[in-house]
Amino acid sequence: MEIWINPRCSKCRSALSILDAESAQYTVRRYLEDPPTEDEFRAVLERLGLEPWDITRTGEQVAKELGMNTWPRDEPARERWIAALAEHPMLIQRPIITADDGSAVVGRTEEAVRSVLPE
């Protein structure tokens, strides 16, 4: 599995602690240093079953500067959202965990993190 993290984020550190406590095998991706591509966003959104606006931190300053709260949240606007996430990875909700079985979660809660652990 892979986990997209910002080391300064408490939710990311908590998710890593859970994975470590369960001896999970995972790869860390520091997405601010190694930003996902637009294609990677499309793939992870499909795995999550979410839209780009569902994983966007619209309270961030750059989101306010871009006026993202006024952007349509529909299929024609989808690529605009994906491009913004790729260009400004600090807008990504975190951590995002992609599991080996093809599932993925935004691991903001202990339950979400545990949901991708092998049984």
117 burial (CB, 10 Å; 0-12 / 13-18 / 19+) is middle
Residues 6+ away with beta carbon under 8 Å from 34: none
User: Tokens 């024609």 sit at which residue?
Assistant: 76
Q: Let me know: does 55 contact 63? Beta carbons within 8 Å.
A: no
Residues 6+ apart with CB under 8 A from 80: 71
The H or E element containing residue 10 is helix 10-21
Residue positions annotated with a catalytic role = 9
* Phi, psi torsion values for 72, nearest 5 degrees: -60, 150
